[in-house]
Structure 1
Amino acid sequence: MASSNPFPDLTGPWHRAARELTATPDSGGRLRAGMGGRTLGGPVMVQGIQGWLRVMAAPRAGGKIWEGANLADVLLPEEVPRPALLGDLSWSDENGLVFQAHLWERLYGEALSPTPNLDIPILVTDQWWNDLLTALDHLHRIPAPIGRQVMTQDYINRIPRFIPALHGRDLTVERWETSHGDLHWANLTTDPLQIIDWEGWGSAPAGYDAAVLHAYALNEPATAARVREVFADVLDTPGGRLAQWVICAEIIQAADRDRVHARLQPHIKLLAEKLLVP
């Protein structure tokens, strides 16, 4: 049976990027593919520094995802903790497919989950939660580049297709803010906190980051309750409810494509119904 993955094996491109960035693959590490097969990452050493090299394949260069990591490196303040970018390059192959490589400083801690959702409670300190609040406060205050959006009002107007009870409701976003755009548990590390994967950052409805974090915790009730407590001032508002409906619609839409979202879908549908009651 032919593979449904539109991207080729990225092992060769990954090793090409390592050579061109003068990075030595870590003999004890293994390469890890991202969801959808469009990325491949693995540990390296470069000039005595522990690094992480990730290669992405795309049908063409340019666009939000292609530009996101480099823009984040330049525009985001140091108060938003994230790995330092050590180098990058891009190229195309004879078939017209393009590749982009980013060489990052290795994470200080471990990702809180191997997948976007949670299956077990997270073990972090109160200081970790405070650091996350501080980081997001700094992020939300900076202006996003013009035209750089996590989603559009047009998309939000279509979410009643996935949550029919919203038909006829005014879904106009009253306030937009700069957001990570994919703030789930695989993109956050243990103490010390670091936030990774900035490809899709941009303008989103206020509260969207908190809404994403809460939605992907719903398989683990204790952590979901903690997120609601920490971000109550955001989530328990009309704008926060709208942000939650947005991520609910996205997860419902994705449920047919992978097991992570399929497992979340029953919890998400219950959440969407609960949000209908002010």
Structure 2
Amino acid sequence: MTSSNPSSDLTGPWHRGARELAATLDPGGRLRAGMGGRTLGGPVTVKDVQGWLRVMAAPRAVGKIWEGANLADVLLTEEIPRPALLGELTWNDENGLVFQAHLWERLQGRELSPTPNLTAPAPVTDRWWDDLRIALDHLHRTPDPAGRQVMTQDYIDRIPRFIPALRGRDLTVERWETSHGDLHWANLITAPLQIIDWEGWGSAPAGYDAAVLHTYALTEPATAARVREVFADVLDTPSGRLAQWVICAEIIQAADRDSLHARLKPHVELLAEELLVS
């Protein structure tokens, strides 16, 4: 796309997807961009069923992100709570772009945060924490999705560029597990628990999901402490410490690109140092 605001180019495709899936934009409903402007979504109704229609554009109909939602719908069990996929559609335009429309069940609860990090303590119950732990245990026992990786060993070997104190350490991942890959607070729903945005799921170092959740909670110490309590057996291990260093490095790397990660950077630098002596 040539537009400086890619989501603006998706308005027409979004309405095409709605027509072909017999979906009607809710009165007063607003279309919302996501994923860096590469997607556009909005609330719809289909035969009295409330849904959410999202359209994505790509140069080719291949790749981890393109295939992620459909594979998650097929391969992940019902014990992992997430919106049901009600319908999907793909098509090409005259410029060679390919579009994908997904019609999802409307979220039953509410998002915990509009941004990946927390700006207030997470308003969740003990039952929510229990349900999250159970859901992630089911996810991490899911057979490795062939060919899908959240990150590679090659990337992990390079994280001392961002955490110099790790130079000379053996950063080999001893255990990989099926992971959400982007388990921050904007991808979690409460009342009831649901986990959304499965485009990037795949194999990651054991403990990575808990590490991401903890790191993006560092601006709210009470919630961060609860994450550490719920996932202590995951985080307080050699594998868990490596997973935490990985997400710390990712956030430090991203700090030069946006203000959200720049605000998190001092917190993760401190965490990375603390992990060296734990």
Matches within 5 A, 1:140-179: 140-179=140-179
Cross-structure match for 2:14: 14
Matches within 5 A, 1:12-91: 12-91=12-91
1:143-165: CA deviations, max 9, x gaps? Answer: 12211111111111111111111
SS in 1 for 2:173: coil
1:6-53: CA deviations, max 9, x gaps? Answer: 665211111111011110111122111114111111100011110001
Are the equivalent residues in 2 in contact too, given 1:207–1:243 (CA < 8 A)? yes
Whole-angstrom CA distance in 2 between matches of 1:79 and 1:169: 38
Whole-angstrom CA distance in 2 between matches of 1:107 and 1:253: 32
Are the equivalent residues in 2 in contact too, given 1:181–1:209 (CA < 8 A)? yes
Whole-angstrom CA distance in 2 between matches of 1:162 and 1:234: 23
SS in 1 for 2:190: coil
What one-letter code is carried by the residue in structure 2 that aligns with 1:186?
Answer: A
What one-letter code is carried by the residue in structure 2 that aligns with 1:117?
Answer: N
Whole-angstrom CA distance in 1 between matches of 2:32 and 2:86: 20
Q: CA deviation at 1:268?
A: 1.0
1:50-73: CA deviations, max 9, x gaps? Answer: 000111122222010000000000
Cross-structure match for 2:195: 195
Are the equivalent residues in 2 in contact too, given 1:5–1:36 (CA < 8 A)? no
What one-letter code is carried by the residue in structure 2 that aligns with 1:64?
Answer: K
Q: CA deviation at 1:207?
A: 0.3
Matches within 5 A, 1:123-138: 123-138=123-138
What TM-score do the two structures reach when normalised by structure 2? 0.96
Cross-structure match for 1:277: 277
Whole-angstrom CA distance in 2 between matches of 1:100 and 1:254: 28
Cross-structure match for 2:245: 245
Q: How many residues align?
A: 277
Q: Extract unaligned runs of 5+ from structure 1.
A: none
1:53-110: CA deviations, max 9, x gaps? Answer: 1111222220100000000000000000000000011122222222111100000001
SS in 1 for 2:132: helix
What one-letter code is carried by the residue in structure 2 that aligns with 1:221?
Answer: P
1:215-242: CA deviations, max 9, x gaps? Answer: 1111111111111111111101110000
Residues 12 and 118 (structure 1 numbering): CA distance in 2 closer, same or farther, change over 3 Å? same
Are the equivalent residues in 1 in contact too, given 2:7–2:40 (CA < 8 A)? no
SS in 1 for 2:110: coil
Whole-angstrom CA distance in 1 between matches of 2:239 and 2:166: 15
Whole-angstrom CA distance in 1 between matches of 2:184 and 2:150: 14
Q: CA deviation at 1:4?
A: 4.4
What one-letter code is carried by the residue in structure 1 that aligns with 2:45?
Answer: M
What one-letter code is carried by the residue in structure 1 that aligns with 2:104?
Answer: W
Q: CA deviation at 1:187?
A: 0.6
4+ aligned runs moved over 6 Å, structure 1 = none
What TM-score do the two structures reach when normalised by structure 1? 0.96
Q: Extract unaligned runs of 5+ from structure 2.
A: none
Residues 7 and 130 (structure 1 numbering): CA distance in 2 closer, same or farther, change over 3 Å? same
Residues 243 and 58 (structure 1 numbering): CA distance in 2 closer, same or farther, change over 3 Å? same
